[in-house]
Chains A and B, each alone.
Chain A
Amino acid sequence: MFRPCSARIAKSKPARYDQSGEGPLTPCAPYPTEEKQMEESILLENDFEYAFKFRKTEKRFNRLWGMKSSARESLKDWLIASDINPKVSEVCANACSELIENCVKFSKNDSTAVVSINVSDRSITVETINKAEKEHRETVSREIEALNAASDPRQVFAEKLLNPVEGKSQLGIIKISMETKGKLELVQEPDEEVVRMKLEMKAE
């Protein structure tokens, strides 16, 4: 009756970037029948998926920025309700908040950003997909490379603090790495303007 864990992980599908804004966030599976639900109740008790998308426009900027804190608090509560340790839930929600912030700040006007959070087995995956200027994607790529090359993210954090760039924080990605101890990745996409960030962190 029990499927191996790998099957459960394979079931989790990443958020799909949908520039039209019309399609679903993730591929939808048919709603399970009652019998199927009972059969899977133990397998699924810790699984969780939370996803949303929004269209960024100049006019909406302040309202979208304000939604960040609502999304953070809501996500933290959902994770706790899904039996994730409150401390881990807080760390994940804060990291997600930084990633949403980047989507609101750097997404091109009139483009759609997608945010998804999956809990599967013992890990949490946060994925954001948005369309931004090519230069932004290159900056993110350089920041992740510097982070991966450093033996301690605090070194990179300290360097960034000492060498500020006017009008830019440049600390978000490093802050996420330091606080979550997770793995950050810029997933390659054929479209040079699509920024697909993936954070994987332990759920316990």
Chain B
Amino acid sequence: MNHSETGFDIRLTGNILSFSGNLEKSDYSKIDAFLKKVDQTLNADTCKINLKRLSFLNSSGIRSIATFILGSSKRFKIQINNDITWQSESIPTLAYLRPDRIEIMS
């Protein structure tokens, strides 16, 4: 199961949701719909989100991923690349919101 457009790819393999490329859309409605479908499709209790190959994510993209995570009852393990500043600075904030359900892994 994947959603691919010019510049980026989002792919669900098992319980791992991997993002790659540059994700900087002006309208995230298609991404939001895809992530909602992922949440409905995935049977596992835990979803691993791998952002390591995502070079750039704009603020609307952070909002889209946060909406997906906060709206789900699953546990999330988010893999980040500490060498990419936006990942090390912005993404860990998500874990403050749901420390019992969101774990940041580098």
Contacts and interface: CB of A to CB of B under 8 A. Distances in A.
9 contacts: A69-B22, A94-B56, A97-B56, A101-B26, A101-B59, A162-B97, A164-B63, A172-B58, A179-B89
Interface of A: 61, 65, 68-69, 72, 87, 90-91, 94, 97-98, 101, 104-105, 154, 157-158, 161-162, 164, 169-172, 175, 178-179
Interface residues on B, range: 20 to 34
Contacts of B17: none
Contacts, number: 66
Nearest to A88: B85
Given A94-B56, A154-B93, A161-B97, A171 B62 contact: yes
B58 A90 contact: no
A161 B62 CA distance: 9
Interface in B38-83: 56, 58-60, 62-63, 66-67, 70
B85 A90 contact: yes
A94 B85 contact: yes
A169 B89 CA distance: 17
Nearest to B63: A169
Nearest to A161: B66
Interface centre among A154, A158, A161, A170 (most CB of B within 10 A): A161
A97 B59 CA distance: 10
A175 B85 contact: no
B59 A175 contact: yes
A158 B93 contact: yes
A69 B62 contact: no
B85 A179 contact: yes
A97 B66 contact: no
B13 interface: no
